Chain A
Amino acid sequence: MSEPERPSTPESPSPQPGNPSPQEKGGAGATALDEAVGLAFRLLQVSIVVLVLVFLASGIATVAPHEVAFVQRLGSLGEEPLEPGGHPSLPLLDEVVRVDLRPRRVFSGRFDVKRRPSELMEGTLEADEEAGFDPSVEGYLLSGDTSAVHVTLAASVYPDQPRQALLAARDPDALSALMLERATVLCAAERRADLLLGGGKSDFKDAIADRLQRGLRKVGSGLAVKSVEFERDVTPPRQVKAAFDAVREAKQQREQLRLDAERYVAQRDGLARSEVARIKARAAADASRIKDRASATAAVFKNYLGAWRANRRALQDRLLAEVLTDALDDVEEAFVISKGELRLRLRRDDKARTKDLEEDVLREMGGPR
């Protein structure tokens, strides 16, 4: 079966394959344009959505751990601080203002020499003792007794009332530094230089901190003082350094004198104790001897009393014989004098006796004589 032939017309020539007709060409272009516009519109929609999202995201504020923040909505600063973390806010209408809570150090550098050359302070460079201070080079602090000292102080200050600190001063550091200098001047003006240079330093520092705190409160700064320290210690001017050194040496000598005296005291105390002990011991020994002698004498007396009463003469002879027996135990020389006189030299020289004894022993052992 054959397919019926299509009639061909000159108005509408039958399109050849791969060669579309003009109508077909126009329809495809419109379609492509529509698709392109649609795609662009979708892209625009997506972009708008993205922009809106970015815009909304820009309202999220992040507060760091060392900060607090306040929302400033149309110029008005919120009362409640935002704690560390993320917080939403209204873009364009809100501004998040942050306050750093970390302590900041401010210095009082005007009371010190601009530089402290070591050769000046150590005295290796001869100081001009007649020279005064050139205030542009050598700052100093005037003490209550109208003396001059050098010092640099550092105060650590932080915002304890953050909102107040934000609104109070345009430059809180400059304000704090000026208040620190004021506190330093006022505290030094009522103290002696010796105290500032010596034992009163700690009190001086505390007084400055207290006065600085009161000053900052007085002007409503919203700031608090954490600490005040000596950035550079209190020192005398180089022009009078030698005199201060002399005082320091005198103090050392005084301490040495005291130590020497205390050593002497300890030595004397020890000697006294030993002397006291010796005196007491001797007294005790003497007392003991006295009592023993008395007891012995009494005992001997009692021992001989019966014999004495029985025959006095016999006892006398016996006792004399005992004494002579002991005495004549070691006669060194004996002389019989013609007139019936007997002379005996008794050997009681301990050294001689010892020597003789040694000689006897040696002799018995067959050694040299």
Chain B
Amino acid sequence: MSEKKANRLTTGLGILLALILLLRLMVYVIPEGEVGVILTFGRPSSEEPLDPGPGIKWPWPIQQVRAVDARLRTLQAPFSQVMTEDGSSVLVGSFLLWRVTSPQKFLELGSDAAAESQLLEALQTAQLEAVGEVPFGALVNTDPTQLRYAEIEARMAEVVRQTLAKRGSDYGIEVGFVGIRRLGLSEEATGAVFNRMRAERTGSADTILAEGRALASDLRAKADAERETALSAARGEAEEILSQAETEAREAYAVLAEDPDLAIYLKKSEALRKLLQQRTLVVFDTTQPPFDILRPAVAPVDSGTGDGR
């Protein structure tokens, strides 16, 4: 390889490196999700933020580009005491979603912490104002139609914007959303809440027991009534069966009308048969037929001695 060729290669590489360095110094890229600004000798060159994408600038130290994350950020206000419209003391904790829309203004604040400090102050003011405009029942209520959270949160966002505007600048910040993240009562008030909760539960326990007893009583009474109804129906049915049987018996007994004397005699005969089936002392007159035929068969005995057995 010739010396000339090596020199050309070295020169080419040098030019390439110089070009890369120049491009590195002059070309900037703003990624999507960020907003940027060109600073010429430390001052913003224009009011409009740089859109995402590539661009050309003078090399440092003449110009430099600052990019700021333009996505939503979160900020939480501490759990602090607020008086509602009707004088109730509540503890409210809220949060704020915000983003940078103008890096020129935002960079005036110097840092993210400074921006958050401004926003936090505005958010606490908003908490006080927005919650102070509604009664306690708009915050907690078993009737959902009485709750006014949408109104409260919208009002808080509005107050934050107004507070920033009053300071002469919005710092290039857009307030995206304000919400309530925590709600409570003061430590003193919770004591009263506990007393009420205890009283409610005690009443509830009594009610539950009373319900149980009433239910049990109802069930027992219903069972007794159903039993009586069933027995009554059964007795009615039994009577009907017997009545039917009596009717059928009467039909059978109708034949007895052909000779009532015989019927009566048979009845008497039957009665006598039944009577004599019991342990009975029967006294016959042996002087009268047919017992007179017994007289020779029985030896006379003394009454009551049992010797004549």
Listed in ascending order, the chain A residues whose CB lies under 8 Å from chain B are 37-38, 41, 72, 74-77, 95, 110-111, 129-135, 139-140, 142-148, 166-171, 174-175, 178-179, 181-182, 185-186, 189-194, 215, 218-219, 221, 236-237, 239-240, 242-244, 246-247, 249-251, 253-258, 260-262, 264-265, 268-269, 271-273, 275-276, 279-280, 282-284, 286-288, 290-291, 293-295, 297-298, 300-302, 304-305, 308-309, 312, 316-317, 319-321, 323-324, 326-327, 332-338, 340-349
Cα distance A256–B213 when bound, in Å? 10
Query: Which residues of chain B from 2 to 25 have a CB within 8 Å of any chain A CB?
Result: 6
Given A41-B1, A170-B69, A171-B74, A142 and B140 touching (CB < 8 A)? yes
Query: How many A-B contacts at CB < 8 Å in the complex?
Result: 372
Query: What are 19 contact pairs spanning A and B, CB under 8 A?
Result: A41-B6, A77-B52, A133-B187, A147-B196, A148-B185, A168-B71, A169-B74, A189-B149, A190-B140, A190-B141, A242-B198, A262-B219, A268-B220, A269-B223, A294-B249, A326-B276, A343-B283, A344-B281, A346-B276
Interface-located stretch among B40-48, B120-128, B234-242: B234-242
Partner pick for A345 among B147, B237, B281, B286, CB 8 A cutoff: B281
Residues on the B chain within 8 Å of A219, using CB: 72, 97, 176-177
Cβ of A244 and Cβ of B201 under 8 Å apart?
A: yes
In contact, B227 and A323 (Cβ under 8 angstroms): no
Interface segment, B56-64, B101-109, B297-305?
Answer: B297-305
Known: A169-B74, A320-B272, A341-B284. 9 other contacts (CB 8 A): A132-B194, A166-B33, A247-B204, A257-B216, A301-B259, A334-B308, A335-B301, A336-B286, A343-B283
CB-CB nearest in chain A for B97: A219
Contact B220 A327 (CB under 8 A): no
Residues of chain A lying within 8 A (CB to CB) of residue B285 = 340-342
A247 touches B201 (CB 8 A): yes
Q: A128 vs B144: C-alpha distance in the bound complex, in angstroms?
A: 33
Contact (Cβ within 8 A) A287 B245: yes
When the two chains form their complex, are residues B142 and A268 in contact, meaning their CB atoms are under 8 A apart?
no
How many residues from B make CB contacts under 8 Å with A?
A: 125
A273 to B262, CA, bound (A): 46
* Minimum Cβ distance to chain A for residue B150 (Å): 10
Residues of A within 8 A of B273 (CB): 323, 326-327
B window 237-282: CB within 8 A of A: 237-239, 241-242, 244-246, 248-253, 255-256, 258-259, 261-263, 265-266, 269, 272-273, 276-282
Contact, CB under 8 Å: A291 / B71: no
Q: Is the interface of B mostly helix, strand, loop or mixed?
A: helix
- Quick check: is B183 within 8 A (CB to CB) of the other chain? yes
Asked if B31 lies at the interface with its beta carbon under 8 angstroms from chain A, I say yes
Give chain A nearest CB distance to B174 CB in angstroms. Answer: 12
CB closest residue in chain A, given B280: A346
Given contacts A253-B209, A294-B253, A342-B283, contact A268 B227 (CB under 8 A): yes
On chain B, the residues within 8 Å of A254 by CB distance are: 208-209, 211-212, 215
A344 with B245: CB separation less than 8 A: no
Give Cα distance in the complex from A95 to B245, angstroms.
106
CB nearest to B141 among chain A residues: A144
Identify which of A74, A169, A287 contacts B29 (C-beta below 8 A).
A74
Residues of A within 8 A of B265 (CB): 308, 316, 319
Distance in angstroms between the alpha carbons of A253 and B32 in the assembled complex: 65
Closest-CB distance, A61 to chain B (whole angstroms): 16
Q: A273's contact among B147, B230, B279, B299, by CB below 8 Å, is which?
A: B230
Q: How far is the CA of A148 from the CA of B91 in the complex (A)?
A: 13
**Do the beta carbons of A185 and B182 come within 8 Å of each other?**
yes
For B192-224 the 0/1 string (1 means CB < 8 A from A) is: 011011101110111011011101110110111
